[in-house]
Structures are given as C-alpha cells and as structure tokens.
Structure 1
Amino acid sequence: MNAELSSLPGRARIHAALGDPARLAIVDALTLGDASPGEIAGTLKMPTNLVAHHVKVLTDAGLVTRGRSEGDRRRTYLRLRPEALATLNPPPLAGVGRVVFVCTHNSARSQLAAALWSDRTHSATASAGTRPARRVHPRAVAVARRHGLDLDPTGTAQVADVARDDDLLIAVCDNAHEELTGPIRPRLHWSVPDPVRVDTDAAFEAAFTDLADRVDRLTPAVARQPPGHGSCRRPDHDPERTHR
C-alpha cells in the first residue's frame, strides 16, 4: 500500500475528498466498473465541467486514476483505486502474539470476549481478571451457549499469571482499565457495562452483543502473524486455549 496514501495527511485528504455528495456519487459509480467523464456526467446528470472539477479533486487525493482508451485514443477512462479506500480503516495493530481480555472478576465480559474472539478468528486467546472470582457467572455460561459458544464454568485466572509481553491486552471493563498499570497495562479499553450488576438475561445479552460488535471491528485490524507464531500451536496441546 502506498505509504503516502496511508499516512494521516493522506487519509485526511481522502476523507475530505469524499465529504462532498457529488464526489461520493462518482466514487460509487466507479466502484464496480470504469467510466469516462462523459459517461459519469450522463449517469449522474451532472454538468461536464462540474464532473471535471470533482474528478480532479478525487485524482489529487489519490482515489481515481485516468487512462487512455486503447480504442478511441481521444477518450479517457476513470478507474477507482480500491487501495486508497482501504486506507480509511485504521492501520493494523502489529506485533500481536495473542489477544487477552481482562475484566475485574473474569466471570462474564472477559470470558465472553475471549470465546467470541476464538470463534471469529480461530486463534490463540485467553481471559483473566484483576480479582478473579471462583467461577464464571451462570448467566455468562448460558448466554454463550445460546450463541453456540462454550465457557468453562471453573476457568478463571489472575491476569498476572496469564499476560505475556507480546499479548494484546484489552480491558473490557472500566475498573480493570483503571487498576492495571506498569507492565500489565491494557493497550485497548472497551467500556462495556457490567451485566452482573443488573443480573438479568437481557443485560447479559446486551453485553454479548456489544462485545460481538467490538470483536468484529477489531478482527481486521489485528495483523496476520507468521506461521508458528502464537495461534498455530495445536489447540489440544495448548493450555491457554481455554477461555479463562
């Protein structure tokens, strides 16, 4: 990917270029196929001089390129650069060996987040607590099962016993985020309300939905690791495969 496009100034130019409805319409028109400026003007019912202005802005931002027709050499075709649109997403998180979710008691949110991560990515994960409970909350076990996931009711752990240097540590509750300092400092914080305080099925479902949405957003941002790193160990020989 072009480093200039993926820089903050480059990404800002792309966002600015897409901030005009007419330019966004041109990008939409070019998403599935190439077109000449005249064809764009006809499709969008836009004056050709206005199309020329917007195309220049999109070209300067790195979103669109021009190419001469191999037939009628007087004609120009516009082509969208999908890699430029890809830069609108946050850059990937590099150097992630494993994703570890942390909450206070390791009895609900962190357990559900680890189960979701394992289900979505099939990669190494773990969960832990700053003050782990003896057991996973029964409603957490139940909501996981309703969504086809399994939790070990006795599988809680202390974060100091679980965290490793190359882990991506994510605090899924405010208390854990604020308690952890020094070498065990979360890299990300998800402020997910504690369902245990309400202690209803609806509260646990809401927490599950919130975590599932956040996991799905994070998944593309975690850089793919080389073979043999972290997630490629055989699950049946990996004691950290359990969602602690």
Structure 2
Amino acid sequence: MSTESADVFQSRVAKHAALADPARLRIVDLLTLGDFSPTELQTELGMPSNLLSHHLRALEGAGLATRHRSEADKRRSYIRLAAGALEGLAPGIEHAATRILFVCTRNSARSQLAAALWRQVSDIPSTSAGTHPADRIAQGAIDVARRHGMDLPEVPPRKLDGITGGDFVVTVCDNAHEEITNFRAVHWSVPDPLRINTEEAFEYAFNDISHRINDLAPRLHAA
C-alpha cells in the first residue's frame, strides 16, 4: 500500500490547523466564491485590520491563499484561493441562482468567455455584460475559444443594466469590480489579456476562468 510523502502529509496538517480557526474557515469559504481585497474582507467579517492581517498570514503560510496587486488601483491587493488549496477539503454552503451574470469593463473577452464556459458545465442560464462595452468581441477571445472547441455567440458586447434579485453576479475584471458600488458581486481578479494581446495571455485568461468555473458550478443550484 502506497502512502503520501511526509511533505504532502505535513501540508495537509498545516491546512487543517489553519482552518481550525473559525475566522480563517469563514475567509476560505468566501474565497471559494471569488477574490477579495483586505478591506472587503474586513467589511464581510467585521474584523479589525491587524487581526485580519494575522489570519491572512496564517492562510498564506499554510498554502491556502495568495495575493496580488490590482491592475486598476496599484495600492489595492486581492486575496485569492491558492491553486489546489481545497484538495481533499469540502467548501462551504451552496447558493441558489436564477441566472449567472459575468461582468467586465468592455464585455469583449473575459466575461464573454466566462459565460460561454459556464454554459458547458451548468444548466443555470448565463449571460455577460460590460460597464463600458466595446464595439465587438476581441479577436483573441474568439481565437482562444475556437482552439478549445468552443464558439462565442455572434452578438455585440452589451452594457450592464438590469440586475434581478436572482442573479448571481461575478466580476472578472478589477476595473469593473472597483467601479460597481450599487450591488454586491463575487469577484475573480483575472488579468486583462488585451493588455498584452498575445495568444499566451488569452490562454492564461481562458484557463484561469475555466478553473474557477469548474470550482464554482457545483456550489450553485437553480433557484
């Protein structure tokens, strides 16, 4: 009978030890939905910044969370769940939704890809919109979708307007997330592939969104 290595075992021990604290478990539950800035976590948890910093250091040290700078406001950072953080661990509660709405600034790449990927894994309807929509979908988004055997719908980007009470909203763009203040949204801090506009940048965005969608889909059910 094969057993896991001592390093892997100790990694599991560190994760369980970190999650034994109720506040850290709550933070990880939130991160299973999307990325949060420390300020947003403070608001969600009603926790002073010094105590939150302590918990975040513990989660990062256990390999459960990572952080990076916002592309919009360089003074802001986002905390995200580390890749593979929850292997062997069950996330929190499920959420009900009548529709999932993906939002970015231009509605020309990330949100379009997210809505199309969602339709492949869930029966819950999906759509996308932009805070400042472009004239057309980015060619790089069309190309990366086709490389993965998926066609984006031949519709122009549309402006974010109506949000219903049953919508589960996901922002996939730092600029859009930091601009929207009139409703709550789960946030995925996905780098803008158009900033570099290379095949590799679109592949990275596609894979990042695909991974997040596969993690989120089992946690949502039709309202």
Could you tell me which residue of structure 2 aligns to residue 29 of structure 1?
none
Identity, % of aligned pairs? Answer: 47
What SS does the aligned partner of 1:95 have? strand
1:113-139 deviation line (CA, Å, top 9, x unaligned): 111100111330000000011110011
Correspondence list, 1:49-128, <5 A: 88-128=89-129
Code of the residue aligned with 2:222 in structure 1: it is Q
Gaps of 5+ in 2: 1-14, 21-87
Q: 2: distance between equivalents of 1:133 and 1:144?
A: 18
Aligned partner (choices 169, 191, 203) of residue 189 of structure 2: 191
What SS does the aligned partner of 1:122 have? coil
Correspondence list, 1:83-232, <5 A: 88-161=89-162, 163-182=163-182, 185-222=183-220, 224-225=221-222
Q: 2: distance between equivalents of 1:150 and 1:93?
A: 30
Q: 1: distance between equivalents of 2:166 and 2:159?
A: 17
Q: 1: distance between equivalents of 2:192 and 2:135?
A: 17
Shift of the alpha carbon at 1:97? 1.3
Task: Give the number of the structure whose alpha-carbon radius of gyration is greater.
Answer: 1
The alignment covers a number of residue pairs equal to 144
Is this contact kept in 2: 1:104–1:130, CA < 8 A? yes
Is this contact kept in 1: 2:106–2:130, CA < 8 A? yes
Shift of the alpha carbon at 1:214? 0.5
Code of the residue aligned with 2:105 in structure 1: it is T
Shift of the alpha carbon at 1:148? 1.5
Q: 2: distance between equivalents of 1:136 and 1:186?
A: 26
Shift of the alpha carbon at 1:88? 4.2
Question: 1:15–1:96: structure 2 CA closer, same or farther, 3 Å change rule?
Answer: same
Is this contact kept in 1: 2:97–2:124, CA < 8 A? no
Moved over 4 A (4+): none
Could you tell me which residue of structure 1 aligns to residue 60 of structure 2?
none
Shift of the alpha carbon at 1:156? 1.3
Is this contact kept in 1: 2:124–2:222, CA < 8 A? no
Shift of the alpha carbon at 1:164? 1.9
Is this contact kept in 1: 2:140–2:199, CA < 8 A? yes
Is this contact kept in 2: 1:138–1:153, CA < 8 A? no
Code of the residue aligned with 2:204 in structure 1: it is A
Q: TM-score, normalised by structure 2?
A: 0.59
Gaps of 5+ in 1: 1-13, 20-86, 227-244
1:32-54 deviation line (CA, Å, top 9, x unaligned): xxxxxxxxxxxxxxxxxxxxxxx
Q: 1: distance between equivalents of 2:108 and 2:116?
A: 12
Code of the residue aligned with 1:176 in structure 2: it is A
1:161-206 deviation line (CA, Å, top 9, x unaligned): 4x32210000001001001111xx2421000000001001110001
Code of the residue aligned with 1:103 in structure 2: it is C
Q: 1: distance between equivalents of 2:135 and 2:155?
A: 7
Q: 2: distance between equivalents of 1:213 and 1:158?
A: 26
